[in-house]
Amino acid sequence: MNQITRLREEEFFERLEWFINIRWATIVFIILAALVAIIIFKVSLPIIPIYAITLIIIIYNTGFKFYLTQIKHKTLPTNARKFAITQSILDIIILTILIHFTGGSENPFVFYFIFHTILTSMLLSKRYSYIQAGIVSILVVGLFALEYLEIVPHHSIKGFINIALYKNLTYLAAVTFVFISTIFIATFFTVSISEQLNLKEKELKEANLKLLEKDRLKDEYVKMVSHDLKSPLASILSLLETVTGGFAGSIEEKPKELLQRIQKKVEFLHHYTKDLLDLSRIRAERSLNIQSINIKDVIYTAAEIALPKIGEKDIQLNIDVQDNISNIEADKELLTYVFLNLIANAFKYTPSGGKILVKASLKNELLMIEVKDTGIGIPSEDIPHIFEEFFRASNVAKTTKGTGLGLSLVKHIIKRHRGDISVESKLGEGTTFRFTMPRNQSS
């Protein structure tokens, strides 16, 4: 079964549930309308039959709700559509009986059948929608005829209409014509609009799937190119380090300066291809390698990797892990990348003499992480875009090297762990990244 069919089935089940919920609202409406008519407008109604019908609706709607929960967990589209038709027919019969006990052709609420027709036509096929319109017309007109011929007793609404309109042929003919034409016109427009919406929806979903496939191919291409570039760049970088370090013999100052500038450019390209490779690899992975890990070990490992990069800075790093946190469930490699990126960024944009705090706590089985620094901060207008791919804050874009991919990857990884990440920052005072994720990924 393809993805489009599955999405349409999910939507169909949602509409079935919505239809059941509307029936609960209808039950409340019937009870309130009967009470208002009797108490406020002093209209005489057969209250026992009305509430008996309401009780029947409550019983079968409860049954429908239970049955929907049963078939929802199974892929049974045929049964689901039969279920929708059964609901529709039962509703029509019950509404016809209710109209009979509340004035028959003299009851203006008979035109409420239009709402039922519109709602059910959204669930049913074109053929069944018109069959339903025909059944409604036959039952209602049949009721009018049976009351007119006195085959079934007519229940007048005393205090509302004092004329026996149900015996007036002209009135009956007019009401019958207006009712049938309205029902079929409503069915026609509902079916037409539903068909057009379904067609557009299908086209949009197919286009979306094509875009997802193109995105996947793009990631594969970027991954392949990045991988092919990474090794040559690493070799070039190694050779440049050998030459500039004097291991290949002495070199004059001017050529050495030029080579060092080339080396910095190659280092940036090497870092850029690594980030692109990480981005493509992580986005391409369909499942996480979930395992039980020690969060403190992950944080310390990431900090040890990040520290040498800024060894020249005098920055105080504090790691505070709550004692009640034992092991958590996560992808160790990806979570290490998250901490490495956040800690490395904190070091990168915090001047000497600053402080960095990494704090981990647990609340209601939710892991809460905070990475706080006293660095240069992020401009307020840049904060909404900070997690976008290739975006760099305006106060660092021209002064420091970077790809703008790290935080985008961090957010992607956190989302894959069913978590969320946010940032608070004040320019010149520092930045705080906070993220949360469930302690147990399997639950």
Question: Do residue 152 and residue 174 come from a single domain?
Answer: yes
Q: What angle do CA 239, 240, 245 make, to 5 degrees?
A: 105
**Which has the higher per-residue pLDDT, 180 or 77?**
180
DSSP state of 55: H
How far apart are the C-alpha atoms of 91 and 399, rounded to whole Å? 70
Question: Do residue 91 and residue 118 come from a single domain?
Answer: yes
Look up the CATH number of the domain holding residue 381: 3.30.565.10
**pLDDT score of 49 more than 60:** yes
pLDDT of residue 227: 62
**pLDDT score of 76 more than 60:** no
In this structure, are residues 116 and 163 in contact, taking their beta carbons and an 8 Å threshold? no
Query: Is residue 397 in some structural domain?
Result: yes
Can you list the alpha helix ranges (DSSP code H) found in 73-125? 77-101, 113-121
Question: pLDDT class for 68, splitting at 50, 70, 90?
Answer: confident
Query: Is residue 325 in some structural domain?
Result: yes
Portion of the chain with pLDDT greater than 90, in percent:
41
pLDDT of residue 225: 64
Phi/psi of residue 380, each to 5°?
-60, -35
Structure tokens at 69: 């929960």
Q: Which domain, by its residues, includes 238?
A: 215-284
pLDDT of residue 1: 40
Query: Is residue 35 in some structural domain?
Result: yes
pLDDT of residue 11: 74
Question: Do residue 79 and residue 126 come from a single domain?
Answer: yes
Query: Is residue 262 in some structural domain?
Result: yes
Query: Is residue 224 in some structural domain?
Result: yes
Q: What angle do CA 381, 386, 392 make, to 5 degrees?
A: 90
| Domain count for the chain | 3
Can you list the alpha helix ranges (DSSP code H) found in 349-416? 406-416
**pLDDT score of 122 more than 60:** yes
Mean pLDDT of the chain: 84
Beta bridge partners of 368: 361, 436
**pLDDT score of 348 more than 90:** no
Mean pLDDT (whole number) for 342-367? 90
Query: Is residue 28 in some structural domain?
Result: yes
Query: Is residue 294 in some structural domain?
Result: yes
pLDDT of residue 53: 94
Q: Find tokens 């028959």 and name the residue.
A: 104
Q: Examine the fold and report which residue of 211, 244, 271 is the final residue of a domain before the chain moves on.
A: 211
Mean pLDDT (whole number) for 312-332? 85
Q: What is the dihedral of CA 92, 95, 101, 105, to 10 degrees?
A: -80
pTM of the model: 0.53
Q: Examine the fold and report which residue of 229, 262, 284 is the final residue of a domain before the chain moves on.
A: 284
Mean pLDDT (whole number) for 176-183? 95
3 state DSSP class of 248: coil
Question: Do residue 339 and residue 385 come from a single domain?
Answer: yes
Question: Do residue 80 and residue 225 come from a single domain?
Answer: no
**pLDDT score of 149 more than 90:** yes
pLDDT of residue 443: 63
Left if phi > 0, otherwise alpha if psi is -120 to 50, otherwise beta: which for 418?
left
Mean pLDDT (whole number) for 352-377? 92
Mean pLDDT (whole number) for 3-23? 72
Question: Do residue 326 and residue 377 come from a single domain?
Answer: yes
Question: Do residue 220 and residue 297 come from a single domain?
Answer: no
Question: Do residue 242 and residue 270 come from a single domain?
Answer: yes
pLDDT digits (tens, 9 = 90+) for 377-431: 999 999 999 998 888 888 886 667 677 788 988 998 999 899 999 999 999 899 9
How far apart are the C-alpha atoms of 344 and 355, rounded to whole Å? 13
Q: Examine the fold and report which residue of 211, 228, 254 is the final residue of a domain before the chain moves on.
A: 211
**pLDDT score of 60 more than 70:** yes
How far apart are the C-alpha atoms of 94 and 109, rounded to whole Å? 14
Structure tokens at 198: 């379904």
Structure tokens at 58: 């409550």
Mean pLDDT (whole number) for 225-251? 74
Question: Do residue 313 and residue 279 come from a single domain?
Answer: no
Distances (CA, A) of 130 to 59, 95, 97, 184: 28, 18, 21, 7
Q: Find tokens 């050998």 and name the residue.
A: 242
pLDDT of residue 224: 66
**pLDDT score of 5 more than 60:** no
In this structure, are residues 107 and 157 in contact, taking their beta carbons and an 8 Å threshold? yes
Question: Do residue 299 and residue 267 come from a single domain?
Answer: no
How many CB atoms are closer than 10 A to CB 179? Answer: 20
pLDDT of residue 48: 92
Smallest CA-to-CA distance from 439 within 330, 286, 305, 285 is with 330
Question: Do residue 202 and residue 220 come from a single domain?
Answer: no
**pLDDT score of 78 more than 70:** no
Smallest CA-to-CA distance from 427 within 395, 398, 387, 400 is with 395
Query: Is residue 443 in some structural domain?
Result: no
**pLDDT score of 283 more than 80:** no
pLDDT of residue 313: 76
Question: pLDDT class for 436, splitting at 50, 70, 90?
Answer: very high
Structure tokens at 258: 């030029």
Strand order of the sheet with strand 420-426? Answer: 316-321, 355-363, 366-373, 430-438, 420-426
Beta bridge partners of 432: 372, 424
**pLDDT score of 327 more than 60:** yes
Buried b (16+ CB within 10 A) or exposed e, 196-212: eeeeeeeeebeeeeeee
How far apart are the C-alpha atoms of 274 and 270, rounded to whole Å? 6
**pLDDT score of 4 more than 60:** no
pLDDT digits (tens, 9 = 90+) for 198-234: 888 888 888 888 887 777 766 666 666 666 676 777 7
**pLDDT score of 82 more than 90:** no
Question: Do residue 319 and residue 342 come from a single domain?
Answer: yes
- Torsion sign over Cα 326, 331, 335, 336: positive
